[in-house]
Amino acid sequence: MTPSDMESRIVRYGELRPCKTAFIDAHTPGSNQKENFTIIGGGVSESPEQHVHISIPHGFNIGAAGQPPKCRNSLHDHRTAEAFFVLSGRWRFFWGRWGDAGEVVLEPGDIFNIPTGIFRGFENIGTDYGMIMAILGGDDAGGGVMWAPQVIEDAAAHGLVLGDNGKLYDTKKQQRLPEGVNPMPLMSAGDLAKRPEPTTAEVLPNHVARYWDMVALADRKPVKVIGETGLLRDKPGFEVDFITRGSASDRKHAHDRPSVLMPVTGHWRVDWEGGSTVLAPGDTMSVPENLGHSAMPSMSGDAALYHIIATDDAPGLTWSGA
């Protein structure tokens, strides 16, 4: 594969194309400044304005959210696994029916494999624009987003209505639900009562991994972060490895399915059979199946990246063995 061919599978941080109308809370005060990015896969955006950078199926989706300080992403859930790692900024994640069951603050490089079945939200509590990268299980990412009832109600008060076809309609632009399309129904009280409300103490040990802990563990070999034998034991249809300068290898290897490289810190030289390139933090590279490749830090200093690859496990709810 030539370098020009490979560039079509690399999304540079500076070339990311945001969507500011991706979800139902796009008009809701406190959430109306967020930017959403769909990097690999169709994602779960509810807006036709969302740009998809790479549509090649990988068995999972890669997305991102960029937010200025004090901007919040409203409480929602997905039908498949959702994992985040912080690229920049300081973020507070919260969860539960009203967002008060528990919370955790994440710093750059930290990763959170959020349990399915609970509403979750997040906000940038830093002083600058921040970015978090997301992995969603499945090629169709579970078919969309499930919102806490109050989010749908608040959105309607500010002009946005979500149809039961998963599409947004802006009443401020005189848009109406098409014939045969009804408003997305609110989750029933019975279904809401079945949702768990785990505490912070229950969530942290099994679902959060800290950057500097992983750096120490990955001194000699890559660390499996999410997987059946990972630090965060789960089988969400993909695995996530953490690689540092000490555990990187210049020996080329290949996979029988596409894989993804996402630097967190440092610059990484990726060599493959046909060319090479350098990735920086925030870049996302899709490596084709059966292509021999290697990744090594190209400069001194801290260097770490996440490696994501699909597994044969069906994407779905958080594994009961976790």
Q: Where are the domains of the chain?
A: 14-208, 210-310
Cα–Cα distance, 240 to 140 (Å, whole number)? 19
Contact 69, 34 (CB under 8 A): no
> What's the CA gap between 251 and 181, in Å, rounded?
54
Question: SS3 of 14, please?
Answer: helix
Number of helical (H) and strand (E) elements in the chain, helices listed first: 5, 25
Is the pLDDT at 35 greater than 50? The verdict is yes
Tell me the per-residue pLDDT of 82-131, one tens digit each, with 9 for 90 and over. 999 999 999 999 999 999 999 999 999 999 999 999 999 999 999 999 99
Same fold, 14-208 and 210-310: yes
Best CA proximity match to 74, nearest among 127, 141, 151? 151
In order of 141, 148, 149, the CA distances from 74 in angstroms are 18, 8, 11
> Quick one: CA dihedral 26, 31, 35, 40, positive or negative?
negative
For residue 291 the two structure tokens come to 């292509």
**Architecture of domain 14-208 in CATH?**
Sandwich (2.60)
Q: What is the DSSP string of 145-164?
A: EEE-HHHHHHHHHTTEEEBT
Helix (H) or strand (E) holding 92: strand 91-95
* pLDDT given at position 1: 86
* Res 322: pLDDT: 47
Overall residue count recorded for the chain in this entry: 322
Residues 240-279 have pLDDT tens digits of 999 999 999 999 999 999 999 999 999 999 999 999 999 9
User: Closest by alpha carbon to 114, among 222, 216, 198?
Assistant: 198
Q: List, edge to edge, every strand of the sheet that includes 91-95.
A: 102-106, 91-95, 120-124, 72-78, 145-147
Q: 3-state class of 124 per DSSP?
A: strand
| pLDDT tens readout for residues 161-201 | 999 998 999 999 999 999 999 999 999 999 999 999 999 99
Please check whether residue 289 is in contact with residue 256, taking contact to mean a CB–CB distance below 8 angstroms.
Answer: yes
**206 touches 232 (CB < 8 A):** yes
Q: Are 115 and 171 in contact (CB under 8 A)?
A: no
Topology, domain 210-310: Jelly Rolls (2.60.120)
Tell me how far apart the alpha carbons of residues 101 and 103 are, in angstroms, rounded to a whole number.
7
50-54, 89-93, 99-103, 137-141: segment of lowest average pLDDT: 137-141
**Closest C-alpha among 34, 98, 100 to residue 71:** 34
Mean pLDDT of 201-222: 96
